[in-house]
Structure 1
Amino acid sequence: MSEALDPTPYDALLLLSFGGPEGPDDVVPFLENVTRGRGIPKERLKEVGQHYFLFGGVSPINDQNRTLLDALRKDFADHGLDLPVYWGNRNWAPYLTDTLRELVQDGRRRVLVLATSAYASYSGCRQYREDLAAALATLRDEGLAVPRVDKLRHYFNHPGFVRPMIDGVLKSLADLPEDVRDGAHLAFTTHSIPTAAADTSGPAETHGDGGAYVRQHLDVAALIADAVRAETGVDRPWQLVYQSRSGAPTSPGSSPTSATTWRSGTRPVPRPWSWSRSASCRTTWRSCTTSTPRPRRRPRSSACRCAARPPSAPTPGSPPPSANWSWSVPPPRAGAR
């Protein structure tokens, strides 16, 4: 074992995730948590819930987080890192507020937060920070000591996040028949969000159309495509496509969709596609700090300031950096851009 690592000033790591139902009876209550305050009829939630019922009412996210927790704890122990790991969710048990209360009762005062969301957007960054601030406010109202909470930065281009997707693409290509392998195109799929939400994920003048949400996905797709080209010697066409549309039916969402890409007749000869899911839960670097509770109110702009690329960050298509950077920003202010 290498020399023991010192986690100072942190005395705990909090894995913060979205949460999901773990049985049919959980589905509608879970969706009510997700959509609380939006006035969505229960009948509509039951309709949406059919997607979960197809899989027995169980989302895979909780078991994936349990696996990640076990891996983190083992990795910390293997490297002599004495840092307890806790788990809290925004929308299902174990709930964030309950977990933070447990942290405080265990004497934790400086907490590092790993959110299972790699990209910038209101729901992928700022809302996590708002939920952290709201949970801290609840603890303060209960008379408990409020710990300082530091949120890790977006990790979309971290080597530990990118490399498994490179390996997945290479394996998918190897599984294709040899006579079509070199002609295969690459499609990188991710969650569709309303275009209005994407546009406020980071300034368009810095990131282009679709804000930081689209730019970051294009960056990681380019990193994967470049690595696949380097390892196979084949320069393949690739495209970023979207799935799992969210938002109101009347609101335009990110496009093109994975379905339209699959059915596309724009090419005279249909070609095989290799698909890569641009989502996971891995990180190393710190970004945002939330130590003072703020009002839970959706700001005019949903851009999370930790979405801004620091000067040393990689440019699109460049290899991800091997060294860490670290910076902090204050919690979001209601109405702040």
Structure 2
Amino acid sequence: MAYDAFVLLSFGGPEHPDDVMPFLRNVTRGRGIPEERLAEVAEHYYHFGGVSPINQQCRDLLAAVEADFAANGVALPAYWGNRNWQPMLADTLARMRDDGVTSALGFATSAYGGYSSCRQYWEDIAQARAKVGPGAPAIAKLRQFHDHPGFVEPHADAVRTALGELDAGRRATTRLVFTAHSIPVSMAATAGPAGGRYEAQLQETAALVHAASAADLPWDLVWQSRSGPPQVPWLEPDISDHLTALAEKGVTDVVVSPIGFVSDHLEVIWDLDNEARETADGLGLGYARAATPGTDPRFVAMIRELVRERTDGGDRGRLGTLPVWDVCPADCCPAPQRRGAP
């Protein structure tokens, strides 16, 4: 099939203090989250001046992709649309339609399967196309990339760099801790062809990064950024609880690698650079947080390679063994049942 554009699909984030509460209402629409809980989360954004770094990170990534496409003969104009804040995907699709685009490839800033990390982007596309109406471009989402060398290798290099910040004399009591966004247990255990895919892919990515960076160290996969009502079980342990348990077992130093993320957006810099680091300091743990890929040239080249997989039948760059597919099955990763919050 012929494609005539590329579109970056992302989560979106506020860029001014006045944006914060409307943004959070967009994120939580239909979930029954009370205003007082939103106000509590809003303080995380106000700590950084009411600006989430994710939009600028998307601008930087889009610019890097455009330069890489131009240098490597990929003749696709590049666009960007978000799920929760400007530029909203529907507005982007309307502009693409007006520019004459009919069929585009979409790259979502999430490496993994699951409802929020994959299927919801398909829903975003369908809703945006319906809003635009006749002439809305078709969007084919590029595959998940959790085990692509262009994703794994930057994470591995970042782990090695972070290890260099710790006391080498305590390496025997150093541990590598991988983190990703927690999700409800019911969502993680969904049935169907992709049941348990989110956690399984993260385990595979963690193993690949560990082998490429610090194979002599023990490692764990833990969770961060939990939200929602306390009575609903989410994946555990939380990163801060895990650090406490490690200190009790005699671990002296940790490298925390946020493999669940492609850039250092707010959940990384708040949950890991503030809350988890504060926990580690209180426990007397040496603490180093590894970077995310961001605009690493290998990550940018990976996006081009994913495009060429689809357009030219190029090689599928993979280091793992879990199955991947270009088009998700219809019953893949269903939406969770929303129970609201107390």
Secondary structure, in 3 states, of the residue corresponding to 2:164? helix
Match of 1:5 in 2: none
Secondary structure, in 3 states, of the residue corresponding to 2:180? strand
Match of 2:321 in 1: 315
Q: Within the alignment, does 1:52 sit opposite 2:75 as a pair?
A: no
Cα deviations by residue, 1:122-141 (Å, 9 ceiling, x for unpaired):
1111111111101111222x
Gaps of 5+ in 1: 1-7, 290-309
73, 82, 96: which is aligned to 1:80? 73
Count of aligned positions? 288
Once the two structures are TM-superposed, the CA of residue 212 in structure 1 deviates from its matched residue by: 0.9
Once the two structures are TM-superposed, the CA of residue 183 in structure 1 deviates from its matched residue by: 3.7
Q: What is the distance in 2 between the residues matched to 1:334 and 1:237?
A: 31
Q: What is the distance in 1 between the residues matched to 2:119 and 2:319?
A: 21
Q: What is the distance in 2 between the residues matched to 1:271 and 1:250?
A: 33
Q: Within the alignment, does 1:280 sit opposite 2:262 as a pair?
A: yes
The answer as to whether partners of 2:210 and 2:219 remain within 8 angstroms in 1 is: yes
Match of 2:199 in 1: 214
The answer as to whether partners of 2:148 and 2:319 remain within 8 angstroms in 1 is: no
Q: What is the distance in 2 between the residues matched to 1:194 and 1:98?
A: 31
Match of 1:19 in 2: 12
Deviates more, 1:8-17 or 1:56-65: 8-17
Identity of aligned residues (%): 47
The answer as to whether partners of 1:16 and 1:87 remain within 8 angstroms in 2 is: yes
Once the two structures are TM-superposed, the CA of residue 194 in structure 1 deviates from its matched residue by: 1.2
Match of 2:179 in 1: 189
Q: Within the alignment, does 1:257 sit opposite 2:250 as a pair?
A: no
Distance 1:329 1:202, change over 3 A: closer
9, 34, 39: which is aligned to 1:41? 34
The answer as to whether partners of 1:194 and 1:246 remain within 8 angstroms in 2 is: no
The answer as to whether partners of 2:106 and 2:141 remain within 8 angstroms in 1 is: yes
> Which letter maps to 2:137?
P
Q: What is the distance in 1 between the residues matched to 2:222 and 2:9?
A: 27
Structure with more relative contact order (C-alpha pairs < 8 Å, separation 6 or more): 2
Distance 1:260 1:82, change over 3 A: same
Once the two structures are TM-superposed, the CA of residue 213 in structure 1 deviates from its matched residue by: 1.0
Once the two structures are TM-superposed, the CA of residue 158 in structure 1 deviates from its matched residue by: 0.9
TM-score, scaled to structure 1:
0.78
TM-score, scaled to structure 2:
0.77
Once the two structures are TM-superposed, the CA of residue 272 in structure 1 deviates from its matched residue by: 1.0
The answer as to whether partners of 1:201 and 1:213 remain within 8 angstroms in 2 is: no
Gaps of 5+ in 2: 264-298, 311-315, 337-342
Match of 1:296 in 2: none
Structure number having the greater helix percentage = 2
Match of 1:246 in 2: 227
Once the two structures are TM-superposed, the CA of residue 70 in structure 1 deviates from its matched residue by: 0.9
Once the two structures are TM-superposed, the CA of residue 36 in structure 1 deviates from its matched residue by: 1.5
Once the two structures are TM-superposed, the CA of residue 249 in structure 1 deviates from its matched residue by: 2.1
Match of 1:300 in 2: none
Secondary structure, in 3 states, of the residue corresponding to 1:285? helix
Match of 1:328 in 2: 327
> Which letter maps to 1:43?
E
Q: What is the distance in 2 between the residues matched to 1:276 and 1:169?
A: 7
1:122-271 mapped onto 2 (5 Å cutoff): 122-140=115-133, 144-200=134-190, 211-229=196-214, 235-264=216-245, 268-271=249-252
Distance 1:17 1:58, change over 3 A: same
Distance 1:331 1:93, change over 3 A: farther
Distance 1:195 1:121, change over 3 A: same
Once the two structures are TM-superposed, the CA of residue 25 in structure 1 deviates from its matched residue by: 0.5
> Which letter maps to 2:23?
F
> Which letter maps to 2:28?
T
Once the two structures are TM-superposed, the CA of residue 145 in structure 1 deviates from its matched residue by: 1.2
Deviates more, 1:327-336 or 1:178-187: 327-336
Secondary structure, in 3 states, of the residue corresponding to 2:105? strand
> Which letter maps to 2:52?
S
Once the two structures are TM-superposed, the CA of residue 146 in structure 1 deviates from its matched residue by: 3.0
Distance 1:215 1:166, change over 3 A: same
Once the two structures are TM-superposed, the CA of residue 44 in structure 1 deviates from its matched residue by: 2.7
The answer as to whether partners of 2:183 and 2:226 remain within 8 angstroms in 1 is: yes
The answer as to whether partners of 2:114 and 2:333 remain within 8 angstroms in 1 is: no
Secondary structure, in 3 states, of the residue corresponding to 2:14? coil
Q: What is the distance in 2 between the residues matched to 1:268 and 1:261?
A: 11
Distance 1:43 1:164, change over 3 A: same
Distance 1:268 1:196, change over 3 A: closer
Secondary structure, in 3 states, of the residue corresponding to 1:175? coil
